Amino acid sequence: MDNLEYKKLKSYLNLRKKIQPKTYLDELAESGWLDIYLSNYSKDKLEYDKEYKEKVYDAMYQYSNLENEDVERYFLEQLIESLSYFNEYIKNARI
Amino acid sequence: MQESKAIRPEIKGLFDTVKQQSKYYIEAFEQLNSFKSEYQQLIGDVNNLAESLALKVNHEIFSLKQKYDSIIKVLTIETNNTLEKYKELSDLSHLQDTYSQALQSINQVNVVVEKNILQLRKDAEEFHRELNYIKVNSDKEIKNLIDANKEYIKKIVSDEKIASDAENIAKFKNLDSRLSKTEQYSQKLSNDINNDIKSIQKELANLKMIVKNISNAEDNAIKAKLNEINANLQKNDLVLSSLNEEVYHLKIKNESIFTSIDKNSPDKAKLNSNQQDNNKLDEISKGSITAIFGKDNIEEYNRINKRLHQNEIDYSELLKKYNSLQIISISAISIAIIGIIIALIV
């Protein structure tokens, strides 16, 4: 994927985010009830279903009005993972 | 886009920093990719160049190898030629040594040959002297021998001549007497034959008369007359045959006389052989019957020869007469037989 294709993909994703409707997770995150929902109804699913987990934390990142350490931890972990991959990627290029 | 309130601003700053750094990294990676592509292109060019260089180097190495091989071959050939030249040089040196040895031996042989030549010249002079001495002596001996042979041959020739003259004279006398006898005998025979011819003519005349009168005569008288005629004719035949035999004997005798005369020629051959052996005898080289027998004997010989020839002519005439008599007698007999047959028929 070259730079142009990457930019096109990014614009398409932004456009999709703009036009897509709010999910129940988005509504629950915006109203501040998502933590309670997760702890009461989908604690196991959040632990084992990565895709669901990604959707939950995206909804909380976009629509939550309160600071949440789990969200920070999740994205920091994602950042660490990406940086680790990056480090591994540029390992051969290091002097 | 609305900013998130779920994350603290410090973390957001961290994220922004990371985001900014990622942008830088993206640019760096883009640049790196461009460098990488250029580098890859360069590597490709370099690889192509390396391949072409490798091909060129391989080609050059191959050509160099070929040149090297050819040079090695040339060097090998030249080395072999050089070795052969060295060998030839060694052979030449050996040949030179042998040539010098041969020269020395030739010089030695020359010395020996010169000595031998001097010795041969001395021997040749001595040989010439001996040869002249022998020649003179041999000439003397040959001259003496020729003189002695001349005398001896003259003596032999004179003795032979005397003996052959006496023998020939005796033979000629004997032949002369025999020829005179044969002439007399032939003359007598010719007279007899003439008489017989006359009697036969008379008989024929009588026969003609008998033929004329045969119709009146008797058979017995005719037969008696014919028997008589026949008897006369047989008698004449006997006479003629005896005459023929005499002439034949006379001819044989003449031939024997000629052959005996010709037998004297070996004396001449003997003389001729002696003459060939001694070329200096000129008087004998003109040898002939005249020289051996003399002129008188030759005349005698010619005379006898003429007489013999005359006898031969007489003999041939007598033979002709005999033939004519035979024809006449046969014709008379035939006429008589015809007359008898006619008489019998009539």
Residue pLDDT, tens place only, B125-144: 999 999 999 999 999 999 99
Take residue B316 and report the two structure tokens written for it.
């041939």
| Radius of gyration of chain A, Cα coordinates, nearest whole angstrom | 17
- A-interface mutation test, from B1, B5, B16, B18, most A Cβ less than 10 A away: B5
The pLDDT confidence band at residue B81, using thresholds 50, 70 and 90, is very high
Please tell me if residue A68 touches chain B, with a CB cutoff of 8 Å: yes
Structure tokens belonging to residue B71: 């040079």
When pLDDT is cut at 50, 70 and 90, the band that residue B274 belongs to is very low
Q: How many CB atoms lie within 10 A of CB B183?
A: 15
Give the gap in angstroms from C-alpha B46 to the nearest C-alpha of chain A. 22
In this predicted structure, which of B25-34, B84-93, B154-163, B262-271 has the lowest mean pLDDT?
B262-271
Half-sphere exposure of B46 (CA within 13 A, CB side): 6
Closest CA to B33 of A5, A87, A89, A2: A2
Q: Where residue B20 falls among pLDDT bands split at 50, 70, 90?
A: very high
Asked if A20 has any chain B CB less than 8 Å from its own CB, the reply is: no
Q: Is A60 on the interface with B (CB under 8 A)?
A: yes
Top-confidence residue, B1 or A27: A27
Neighbours of B203 (CB within 10 A): 19
Which of A65, A75, A86 is opposite residue B5, by nearest beta carbon? A65
Contact present, B285 and B178 (Cβ < 8 Å): no
User: Which of B1, B3, B4, B33 would you mutate first to test chain A, the one with the most A CBs within 10 A?
Assistant: B4
Distances (CA, A) of B180 to A19, B100, B140, B183, B315: 202, 106, 59, 5, 15
Q: Could you tell me if A37 lies within 8 Å of chain B, comparing CB atoms? A: no
